Amino acid sequence: MALEIGDFVSEKVVLITGGAGFIGSALTDRLLGKGYRVVVVDNFATGRRDNLVERPELEIIEGSITDSNMMADLFSRVNPDVVVHAAASYKDPEAWVEDAETNVVGTSVVVNESRKCDVERFIYFQTALCYGLHPEEQPIPIDHELRPRESSYAISKTAGENYIALSGLDWVSFRLANGYGPRNITGPLPTFFQRLSNDSSVFVMDTRRDFIFIEDLIDVVERAVDGEGESGPYHVSSGSDVSIQDLLEATLKAMGIELDEPIEVRPRGEDDAFTILLDPGKTHQQFPGWEAKTPLEDGVARAVGYYREFGIEETFTHLHMPDETS
């Protein structure tokens, strides 16, 4: 029988660790839409089961990346072409052992199995806190010194990134601004939504952050899965920061709420960063045409639509601070 255009479905197999989470599930949706086969491994520590819709091209394995026997069996059976390592532990700033187990030991398990399978590419997501809370320059250049000293999350994520760089694999580490959008459960936006939904008071800190909408983020990750961009670290950011007050105002607008009082703006603590702004120049150069396109108001409205439909089970923060940085 003659094949039709629609029969040319890609056989590429992508293994996504943490695929039930915010970023992993958005990428799963995107890659399944392209006809790829996707295998997700997730222990549902922070991921939600309803982030993934069962489909024949999607296999979901419930388990921890720290389980080296399970991971060895999984890799030898699935033989992935590309590995996207999105699993991470961060939900309790005091859970240093858990962070080290998942982010350091678990990452080395995933890296070692990827080497054995000779995967074409290994993709990672790194926190902007790898530069510390007081970087030397803003926007932060991609070659800024790494000094992740303020949190267990940043320390362990940076150790993981170092193992990846050591591996000899073709690797891409996306160092991210604050991701937001549907399924996001960290950072200020879900907290604002919850407090406003409960008629609780809201305030903002006098700080600014760089926000990246999930679909814009996935656009560049998808291109990296397809082999674009040379091996190394990249910033995924909008390239400009907004005040946390602007974010709250966009949330109020999306929820149709008018406050009786002006928004309370609290001075930031001594240890808080005024801004965390990542320079996306190298990403623009290596992924021509890519840029963050979604206006803040549109992205916030999409996130609010999701929270209304699916609710927020829990929100998490990995810093002991009133204002969170992802």
For residues 253 and 294, is the Cβ–Cβ distance under 8 A?
A: no
List the one residue from 28, 66, 283, 315 that touches ligand NAD (CB under 6 A). Answer: 66
Q: Give DSSP secondary structure letters for 261-324.
A: SPPEEEPPPTTS-SEE-B--HHHHHHSTT------HHHHHHHHHHHHHHH--S--B-SSSSSS-
Determine, following the binding rule CB under 6 A, whether residue 151 of this chain makes contact with ligand NAD.
no
Determine, following the binding rule CB under 6 A, whether residue 88 of this chain makes contact with ligand NAD.
yes
List the one residue from 28, 32, 38, 43 that touches ligand NAD (CB under 6 A). Answer: 43
List the one residue from 14, 15, 18, 251 that touches ligand NAD (CB under 6 A). Answer: 18
- Restricting to residues 100-129, which ones interact with ligand NAD according to CB under 6 A? 102, 106, 125-127
The site that binds ligand NAD (CB under 6 A) totals a number of residues, namely: 32
Name every residue whose Cβ is closer than 8 Å to that of residue 95 and which is 6 or more positions away in sequence.
89, 152
List the one residue from 32, 82, 109, 176 that touches ligand NAD (CB under 6 A). Answer: 176
For residues 106 and 159, is the Cβ–Cβ distance under 8 A?
A: no
Structure tokens at 312: 């927020």
Determine, following the binding rule CB under 6 A, whether residue 278 of this chain makes contact with ligand NAD.
no
**Beta pairing, strands 203-205 & 37-42:** unpaired
Please, what is the minimum distance in Å from the beta carbon of residue 44 to ligand NAD?
5
- Of residues 27 and 254, the one with the C-beta less far from ligand NAD: 27
Determine, following the binding rule CB under 6 A, whether residue 236 of this chain makes contact with ligand NAD.
no
Any idea what DSSP says for residue 53? -
Determine, following the binding rule CB under 6 A, whether residue 218 of this chain makes contact with ligand NAD.
no
- The label of the residue with tokens 């997730």 reads 42
Cα dihedral across residues 320, 312, 186, 96: positive or negative: positive
List the one residue from 135, 139, 179, 280 that touches ligand NAD (CB under 6 A). Answer: 179
List the one residue from 29, 30, 45, 265 that touches ligand NAD (CB under 6 A). Answer: 45
Strand order across the beta sheet in which 171-176 lies? 58-62, 37-42, 13-17, 82-85, 121-127, 171-176, 232-236
Please, what is the minimum distance in Å from the beta carbon of residue 52 to ligand NAD?
10
List the one residue from 37, 39, 78, 89 that touches ligand NAD (CB under 6 A). Answer: 89
For residues 175 and 224, is the Cβ–Cβ distance under 8 A?
A: no
Please, what is the minimum distance in Å from the beta carbon of residue 137 to ligand NAD?
19
Structure tokens at 250: 């966009």
- Which residues make up the interface to ligand NAD (CB under 6 A)? 17-18, 20-24, 41-47, 64-66, 86-89, 102, 106, 125-127, 157, 176, 178-179, 186, 326
